[in-house]
Structure 1
Amino acid sequence: MTKAETGGGRSAPDLYERKATGLVRSISLRSSIYFNVTTVGVMWSVLALTQIAGGFADADPVVTAIIAVVVCLAPVLLYGLFTAAIPRSGGDYVWVGRTFRPWVGLAVNVNATTWFVLANGFLSYLVAQDALPTAFVTLGKAFNSETIAGWAGTISSPGWTFAIGVIVLVMSGILTAAVPMRKAMKVMAGFFTVTMAGLVVAILALLFTDRSDVVNGIAGAGGDYDAIISAGAASGFGAGGFSLWSCLLAIPPLYLALAYTVAGAYTGGEVRNPRKTGVLGPLTASAMVGVLVVIAFSAAARTLGSDFISAASFLSASGDPAYTLGQPASFFYFVTLGTDSPIVLTIIAVAYFAAPLSTILATVLFSTRNLFAWSFDRILPTKVSEVSPKTNTPVVAPIIVTLVSTVYLAFLVWGSPTFSAAFGAIILGTTISFIVTAIAAIVFPFRRRALYASSAVRGEFMGIPVLSIVGALALVVYGFVFYALVSQDALGVNNSTGFMATVIVLTIALIAYPLAYAANKSRGVDLALVGRELPPE
C-alpha cells in the first residue's frame, strides 16, 4: 500500500491507497455524456411537462424548466468535482466515508443504491405497462393496424408484464457482466442516438404542426379540445395564472432528470480522464437534456396551447370523466395527436420503448460498481468484487442487482398497489443521500487537507475552497427540493406510504455497517481500518 496523505484535518488518520482492482479506465468524455444522458432517459425527461402542468395551476412549465436547468448545475458540478478529486468506484460511498466515517459513507450509498436498484424493477414494470403499449398504439396509428394497437392491451396482463420485465432485467445484467465497459459504452451510444432522435423528431413535429391539426387529432381520439380546456379551467387549471413561487415548487420532476446526470460518478474507477471527463461529462449531459427540455416545452406550448396542456394533464391525472382521450396525458401522446406521418410516429414509438431500456442498463452498470466498492472494503463478501479477467467487469454484482430488481418487479405485478406508490419516494430518499454528500463536500477540504491539496480540484475563490462553495450551493438546491417534496401534495411524496418507504430504506442503510462490522469482527477483521485507506484504482 502507498501512503497518500499524512495528517490532514483534526487528528485525521493517515490514508493509504490500495491498488489493483481489475477494472479498466475506459470511459471517455463522449462515453460519459452518453452514459449520463441515458441514465435519466432524455425521452422520459419531457414527461415532467404533464406532471408540472397538471399539478401546479400557476406554474409555467417553460419557466420552470429554465430555472431547473440553472439550479441543477450546482448539484451536477458537485459530483463532477468530487469525481475529479477522488476518482474511485462507489462515488459518494467513498467521498462521504473518507470525509467522515465509513458508517456514514455506507449509509449514504446504500440508501441511494437501494432506490436505484428498485428503480430498475419499476422501469422494467413500465416497459410492459407504459412503454410498449404506447409504442404499439403509436405504431398501430402509423400503419393503420388495429392488430398492432391491440397488442397494447395484451402485454399489459400480469403474466406478460412479469415475463417482459424479467427478460429486460436479465439481458441488462448479462450485458453488464459479459461485455467490457468500452463495448457497453457503445451500446449506450446506440441508445443515446435512438432516444435523442425520438425527442428531436417530436419537437420538429410540434414545430411543423398547426393548432388545427391538433384539434382534429383530439376529435379523432374521442376528445374535444375546447371542452377539455373549459373543464380544466373550472377546476383552476388552464386559466392562465402565473406564480414564480409555484414554478420553483414544481422543480422536482425536472430535478429528477437534470440533477441525476451524475451516473458516471459511481463508475469513477473506470473514467479515463477524471479531471476532465468527471466534470465535463455530467455537466454537458445535464445542459444538453435541459436545453432540449426547454425547447420541447416551448414547442408544446406553441402548438398545443398552455391552457390545453394544463387542463388535460390535470383532468387525466385526477381521473376526471371530462378527459375522454384514449391514452393518459403525456408529451409524446400529445405529439402523436397532431400528426399522421408513419415515419414520425414510428421513430417516436421506437425511441419511447428504448428509453426505459437505456435507463435500466445504465443503472445496472453503476449500481454494480457500488456493490463492488462495498465488497472491496469487505462490507460484502469478497466474491462480489470478483472481476472477469476477459471483460474487466464485475461478475457477481450484476447478478445481485438483477435478482433484487426482479423481486421488486414481482411485488409490483402481483402485490399491493402500495409497492408502486412507495416508489414515488425515490426523489425524497435519494435527496437525503445527496444532502449528506453536499455537507461532505463543504468540509472535505478542511478535514482532509492534504488529500484535497493534492487533488485536481484544489482551487480557491476568495480564499474559500471551490469544492466547499459548490457544496454549499448544492446543499441549498437539495434543501429546497426536500422542502418542496414534503410540502407539496402534487408531487405525490408527502404521504404515509412515501414517508414509510423512505424510513424503511434509511433503516436498512443505517444498520448495514454495524451488521457488516460485527460479522467481520467475529472473523478478526476490523472494518474501522477502512477509514484509513483510499479505495483501489
Structure 2
Amino acid sequence: MAKKGSNPASSGDASRPRRIVFTRDATGLVREVSIKDAFMIVFSLVIGGGILFLSVQALQPGYFPGANLSISYLIGLIFVLPLYMVYAIFSRAMPRSGGDYIFVSRILGPGLGFVASWGVWISTLLTMGILSYQAISFISYFVMQFGLYTWNPSLLGWSIWLTDPIWGVIFGITLVLIFGGFLIISLKASLWLIRVLFIIPLIGLLAIVWVLSTHSPLDMVWAWNNIFGWGATMDLLPGAFGDLFRVAFAFPVQYYWLSYYFNSLNGTTGATLSAVVIAMFALGGGYSLSLIGGEVRDTRRTFYLAMVVSIILIAFLYVALLYPLQSNWGEFIKLYDFLTYTKDPLFGMLWWSLPQFSGELSWLSGWGSMLSKDTLQYWILYGGWLYAGKIPTPLPASIPLFAAPLAGLNWLGLFIIGAGALWLINSITPMLFTSSRYIFAWSFDRIMPTKISTLSERTTTPIYAIGVSMLVAIIGIVLSSISTVQAAINAVFLGILSIVLTVVAGILFNRRRKDLAERTYNPKIRGVPVITICGVISVFFAVPLILGALVTFNTGSILVIVIVYLIGAIIYLYMRRRNRKAGIDLSEIFRNIPPD
C-alpha cells in the first residue's frame, strides 16, 4: 500500500490507465522569495569576476587591447536582453524549480533537457568553487594594505603567505560549508545573508564609481606610489608607477611593448566588437533565477523585474565603472596587463615579478640599512617573497586594484578591496541555492534517485540536493588550484548548450507544445508569440557567445566537455531503463509541468 501523498507507478496492468508518477503529489517547497530577494539574487549572481577581473584583463595581449569597454558592455546588454526575455516569459509560464531544465525537457525532450542542464549544473558549481578560491587574492591585497595602513610587518608577511594555493582551497571550502549550512538550516536565514552580503559590496561598488569619477590621470602616480612605494629614483615618473614604464622600455622588452602598444591603437572597432563576448559573460548568470521559480512568491511580476530590469541596471553600473577607469587610466592598465599577462618567457611576468635583475628599478635602493616606511613596501612586494622562499607574482589586474590606491591608504581604500572580495563571496549562497534546484528537479522527475528530492520535515529544505551540490562545489575548489584543469573547464562554464536549447525551445514552444502554450502565460504581438520573436533574435545574438567559447577550446577543453556530457547521457539512459523496469513511463511525466 502506498504511503499517503505518494504517486505510485502503475502495477503493470494493461487495462489500468497510465498515471503521472512524479516523486510525490507536490514539491513541498515554500514560496519565500520576494521581488526584493530576487533582485538581490540576480545582482549577486551577475556581478563578480566578469566585471571586476575580466573587464580590465581583456586589454592584455592576445585578447582585445584596443577595445572600448564601455561600448562593448552596452552592445553586450543589447545582445543579452532578448535572451533574458525568453527566460522571463518561460519562468512566468512555468514557475517551477529546475528552470531551463523544465523548459527544454517539456518542449524538446527529457534527454536534451537533462544532459544540457547537467552540464550547466557541473559548470556552475565548479565556477562557484573558482570564485571562492580566487576571492583569496582580494583578501591578500586587503591584508597587505591593512598592514601598511597600521604599519604591521607581520600582516605584510601574511599577505604573502595567503597567496599560497592551499589557503585558497581552505578558504573556499570553509565558505561553501558555512553558506551551504545556512541553506540546509533555513532558507529564510540564507535570504537574510544574501541581503547583507548584497548591500555592503554594493556600497563599495558605488564608492569605486565615485573614486574613479573624481580623480585625474595624474592622481594615479601619487596614489600608486603611496601604496607600492616611492623608492629613491628621481625621474619624471618616480617610484613603483615609473617602474612599470622602466621595465616596459628596457631592452629587449621595449620592442615587444611598442609593437603591442601601436597594434592596440589599430583595429579599435574590431577589438570593441570582439570584447562583447566578455561583456555577455559578465552580464550572464541572471538566468539562474528561473531555477527557483517554485519558490518565488509573485510569479507575475518578479521574473520581468528581477531579470530584465536588473540586467539593464547592472549594465549601466558597469559603464559607470568602466568609462572613467578606461578614459583616465586606460594606457596604464594596458601597460600593467602587458607586463603581467604576456606569456613570452623572455619578458612579461618574469621581468615584472623578478625586477632585481634590472638595475634601473628604484626599489633596489631600499635594501639593507636604508629600509624605511616607503621602501619596506618594495621589500614586501619583492624581497619579502624571496625571504619567504616563494616566487613573487604580480597582483591580478582588477578594478579594485586600480581604484583602491586612488581612495588612499585609509579605511575607504580598505573598504573598496573588501567589497571586491564580497562580490565574489556573495555569489556562493545564490549559486548553491539555484543550482541545488536542478538536482532537486531531476529527482522529482525520477531522473535521479528520489531520495535527493526529500525535504527536511523541520526546515522544508532539500537537504540532500544541497549536500550533493556542496560536494561538487568543493571538488571545483580543489580543481581550481590546478591551472591546467581550470583552463580546460572554462569552455563549459558558459553553459552554451543549455542557453541555445532554451532559445530553440522558446522558438518552438507554440508549435511543439501547443497544449502548454494555450494554458500558460504566452504574450503575443499581432498574433506572433513574444517568446518566439525574442528566441529568433537571441539565435543571432548568441553567435558571438558561441564563437567566444570556441576560441577557448583546446584538447583539454574538448575532453572535459565530452566527459561531462557523456556522464550526463549515461545517467539519463540508466535512469530511464531503471524506471521502465519499475513500470514507470518517463514520457508521461514530461508531458506535464511538475506540480507546485
Measure the CA separation in 2 of the matches of 1:297 and 1:196: 16
CA distance in 2, matches of 1:395, 1:252: 36
TM-score normalized by the length of structure 1: 0.89
Q: Does 1:151 align with 2:158?
A: yes
CA contact (8 A) 2:277 2:544 kept: no
5+ long unaligned stretches in structure 2: 6-17, 229-239, 354-380, 382-393
- For 1:25 and 1:169, how far apart are their aligned partners in 2? 24
Q: Is the 8 A contact 1:83 1:278 kept in 2?
A: yes
Q: 1-side partners of 2:215 and 2:341: how far apart?
A: 26
Q: Displacement, 1:350?
A: 2.0
Contact 1:202/1:344 (8 A) holds in 2: no
Query: What is the TM-score normalised by the length of structure 2?
Result: 0.81
Cα 1:16–1:288 shift into 2, 3 Å: farther
User: Do structure 1's residue 436 and structure 2's residue 501 form an aligned pair?
Assistant: yes
List per-residue Cα deviations over 1:65-103 (Å, max 9, x = no partner): 121122221112211111011101001111000002111
- Pick from 198, 209, 232: which aligns with 2:204? 198
Shift of 1:14: 11
Matches within 5 A, 1:213-292: 213-219=219-225, 221=228, 222-224=240-242, 226-227=245-246, 234-237=258-261, 239-292=264-317
Post-superposition offset of 1:207:
1.8
Deviates more, 1:308-317 or 1:268-277: 308-317
Look up the match of 1:401: 469
Q: Hey, what's the Cα distance between the residues in 2 that align with 1:70 and 1:229?
A: 38
One-letter code aligned to 2:258: A
**Aligned counterpart for 2:182 among listed residues 175, 180, 186:** 175
Residue 443 of structure 2, aligned match among 375, 391, 415: 375
State the Cα distance separating 1:291 from its structure 2 match: 0.9
Among 102, 119, 122, which residue is 2:110 paired with? 102
**1:313-352 deviation per Cα after TM superposition (whole angstroms, max 9, x unaligned):** 2332215155469523221111123232412112112212
Distance 1:57 1:155 in 2: 30
Structure 1 unaligned spans of 5+: 2-12, 488-492
Partner residue of 1:307?
331
Query: How many residues are matched?
Result: 514
1:480-528 alpha-carbon deviations (Å, 9 max, x no partner): 21013324xxxxx132222222222222233221021122233333323
Equivalent position of 2:400 in the other structure: 332
Partner of 1:122 in structure 2?
Answer: 130
Task: Specify which of 317, 340, 365 is matched with residue 341 of structure 2.
Answer: 317
State the superposition RMSD in angstroms: 2.5
Name the CA shift for 1:390/1:14 in 2 (closer, same or farther; >3 Å): closer
Alpha-carbon distance in structure 2 between the residues aligned to 1:145 and 1:212: 29
TM-fit CA distance, 1:116: 0.8
User: Percent identity at matched positions?
Assistant: 25
Q: Which residue of 1 aligns with 2:572?
A: 513
Tell me the residue number matched to 1:8: none
Aligned partner of 1:482 in structure 2 is 546
- CA displacement at 1:258 relative to structure 2: 0.9
Contact 1:213 1:339 in 2 (8 A): no
Q: What's the CA shift for 1:149?
A: 3.1
Of 517, 527, 530, the match for 1:466:
530
Aligned residue in 1 for 2:373: none
Residues 472 and 425 from structure 1, CA distance in 2 versus in 1: closer, same or farther, beyond 3 angstroms?
same
Q: C-alpha offsets along residues 427-467 of structure 1, whole Å, 9 cap, x if unaligned?
A: 44x012101110011001121113212222x2222332111
2:50, 2:281 within 8 Å by CA — same for their partners in 1? no
Q: Is the 8 A contact 2:52 2:420 kept in 1?
A: no
Which residue of 480, 491, 507 corresponds with 1:425? 491
User: Alpha-carbon deviation of 1:404?
Assistant: 1.7
Q: 1:146 to 1:65 in 2, by over 3 A?
A: farther
Are the counterparts in 2 of residues 205 and 344 from structure 1 also a CA contact under 8 Å?
no
Q: Secondary structure at the match of 1:237?
A: helix
Question: What amino acid does structure 2 have at the position aligned with 1:311?
Answer: L
Contact 1:83 1:279 in 2 (8 A): no
Partner of 1:452: 517
Q: Deviations over 1:361-406 (max 9, x none)?
A: 1110001111110111111111111112332221111111111222
Structure whose CA Rg is larger: 2
Give the deviation of 1:271 after TM superposition: 1.1
CA contact (8 A) 2:491 2:550 kept: no
Alpha-carbon distance change, 209 to 323 in structure 1, aligned in 2, over 3 angstroms:
farther
Which residue of structure 2 aligns with residue 496 of structure 1?
555
Give the structure 2 partner of residue 351 of structure 1.
Answer: 419
Q: Distance in 2 between matches of 1:227 and 1:36?
A: 43
